[in-house]
Structure formats: structure tokens, C-alpha cells
């Protein structure tokens, strides 16, 4: 692997190897180090942190230069990170970048995101990591306005790193560069998606469904959230923890503890 003693930056995404968002992230990342790309042959949106365990993961080296090493795999974003760390790289990367996703991953969307699944896998392995998303779902979305902010986040990550088990969820508003007001470090919005399944029937009479829905913000007036930041022209940067424990609840649940329980659930 041709790193030329520069930082090694592992880049992945969940929209497939042809996605414009991936191309933009690779373009900027190359300014900071040797880039290793692990991207799927097809879209892996909505795969969250899933991994492939019942099928072989096929992969192919498609490019290797002084600036970039590129693999295409048939697997999830988390698969790609695991394979890179365990089999393909000769050392741990200095940085892991995922995206740029076509569409927002703010609020509860972080739970479903393959983009963030890859970033969280990096955090598990103690690699400074960030997932990037643009609030534009179109395949031909314009990512140019994100460039200076990508550089700023990448530079901060390389200089300062992140605590163990933490990665960043960075969402970028789809507006002109001169309209972006800056970066806000904030928290995840308390919100959810209302799902609707549009049921249809194919020519053979078999039913099928498409998942649709809309986002509901439970706290639209809160000014310290990612949704507020995006609505007001800021990039939102949310530190995300791999530890899902609700620590604040542990103390009040101590009364649930028992030493021994009989067959009827009595202590």
C-alpha cells in the first residue's frame, strides 16, 4: 500500500462506489493523506451497522496509485471497514471518513444509517471517525458548498482526534456556500419517522409495498439540536457514542436487582 508516510485515511459510504458524495469526500481527503476507499458495488442505504455473516463478501482492487487505493466490495459499509482493518491494511488508519451521504442523517435517522454504521465501527476500533451527510437525496446533488467545511472537520480530527468510542455525525444543509452560516456542535433532535407502506399489486396478483413516511420533530423550538442548526443554515456536528447505555437510569433501577429468582419470577 502506497502511503508515502502521509496519514492513511479510510473512506467509505453507503450510496455505492459511483455516488457523487463519495467522489467529493475522496477529492478533499486526498489533500490530507493517502486515501483507501472501501465502497460497495451497490447502494447500502438503511443498513445501519449490519454485517454479512451468511454469505461470502466479494471484493476487488480497482485502483492503486500514490494518492489512492480503491476497493469495491459486495457488502455493507461496516463490512468494508472490518475487512479493511482485519485483512487489507498493513496498519490502523489515522482517520475514517464515511459519506458524503445523499440525504440527511440527523435526529433518529442516525439509527438507520449505513453511513454512520461505518463511522461507529471506526469508533469501536479507536479510530477518529466522522460520517458526513447532505440534506439532498438527489443522485446529482451539488456537494461543492461542503468543501471548506469538510477540510475544517478533517483537519480538526487529524490534530485533536476523538475520545475512545466517539465519532461525529456531520450534516450539511443543501444551500449555497455563501448562505451557510458556519458549524454548530449540538445534540441529536428528539424526533421520529412516521412510516407508511404503500401497498400495490404486480401483474401476477402478488402484493408488494414501498416504505414512505415523514419526519416528526418533537422539539422544533429547541435551539441546541441538529435539526434546528440545519434549518437555520448551519452544519450540525453531533458527537455520537458507541455506548448505548442509559446511564442516568441505572441508579433508579437498582431496586429491580435480585440475587435469585424462582420459576414464577419471585425473589
CATH value at residue 97: 3.40.1210.10
| Residue 232 covered by a domain | yes
Alpha helices, H only, the chain:
20-29, 77-83, 114-124, 147-160, 226-231, 247-250
pLDDT digits (tens, 9 = 90+) for 78-122: 999 999 999 999 999 999 999 999 999 999 999 999 999 999 999
pLDDT digits (tens, 9 = 90+) for 214-236: 889 999 999 999 999 999 999 99
| Residue 150 covered by a domain | yes
Alpha-carbon gap, residue 263 to 12, rounded angstroms: 49
* Count: domains in the chain: 1
Cis peptide before 164 (omega within 30 of 0): no
| Residue 217 covered by a domain | no
Alpha helices, H only, 37-167:
77-83, 114-124, 147-160
Question: Percent of the chain beyond pLDDT 70?
Answer: 96
| Residue 48 covered by a domain | yes
Domain limits at 29? 8-189+223-242
pLDDT digits (tens, 9 = 90+) for 21-55: 999 999 999 999 999 999 998 898 989 999 999 99
| Residue 106 covered by a domain | yes
pTM greater than 0.75 (yes/no): yes
Alpha-carbon gap, residue 101 to 123, rounded angstroms: 18
Cell of residue 179, nine digits: 448562505
| Residue 249 covered by a domain | no
| Residue 213 covered by a domain | no
- Which pLDDT belongs to residue 3? 52
> Are the C-beta atoms of 145 and 116 separated by less than 8 Å?
no
> Are the C-beta atoms of 139 and 20 separated by less than 8 Å?
yes
| Residue 145 covered by a domain | yes
Alpha-carbon gap, residue 167 to 116, rounded angstroms: 9
Amino acid at each position: 500500500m502506497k502511503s508515502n508516510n502521509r496519514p492513511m485515511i479510510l473512506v467509505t459510504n453507503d450510496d455505492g462506489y459511483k455516488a457523487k458524495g463519495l467522489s467529493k469526500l475522496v477529492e478533499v481527503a486526498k489533500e490530507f493523506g493517502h486515501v483507501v476507499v472501501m465502497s460497495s458495488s451497490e447502494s447500502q442505504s438503511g443498513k445501519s451497522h449490519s454485517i454479512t455473516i451468511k454469505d461470502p463478501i466479494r471484493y476487488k482492487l480497482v485502483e492503486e496509485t500514490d494518492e489512492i487505493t480503491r476497493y469495491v466490495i459486495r457488502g455493507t459499509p461496516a463490512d468494508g471497514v472490518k475487512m479493511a482493518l482485519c485483512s487489507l491494511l498493513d496498519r490502523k488508519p489515522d482517520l475514517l471518513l464515511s459519506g458524503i451521504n445523499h440525504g440527511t442523517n440527523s435526529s433518529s435517522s442516525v439509527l438507520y444509517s449505513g453511513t454512520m454504521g461505518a463511522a461507529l465501527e471506526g469508533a469501536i476500533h479507536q479510530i477518529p471517525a466522522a460520517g458526513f451527510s447532505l440534506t439532498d437525496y438527489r443522485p446529482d446533488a451539488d456537494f461543492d458548498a461542503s468543501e471548506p467545511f469538510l477540510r475544517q472537520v478533517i483537519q480538526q480530527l487529524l490534530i485533536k482526534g476523538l475520545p475512545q468510542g466517539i465519532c461525529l455525525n456531520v450534516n450539511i444543509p443543501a444551500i449555497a456556500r455563501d448562505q451557510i452560516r458556519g458549524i454548530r456542535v449540538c445534540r441529536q433532535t428528539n424526533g421520529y419517522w412516521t412510516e407508511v407502506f404503500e401497498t400495490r399489486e404486480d401483474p401476477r396478483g402478488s402484493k408488494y409495498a414501498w416504505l414512505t413516511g415523514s419526519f416528526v420533530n418533537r422539539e422544533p423550538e429547541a435551539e441546541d439540536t441538529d435539526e434546528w442548526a440545519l434549518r437555520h443554515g448551519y452544519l450540525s456536528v453531533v458527537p455520537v457514542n458507541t455506548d448505548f447505555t442509559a446511564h442516568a437510569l441505572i441508579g433508579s433501577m437498582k431496586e429491580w436487582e435480585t440475587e435469585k429468582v424462582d420459576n414464577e419470577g419471585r425473589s
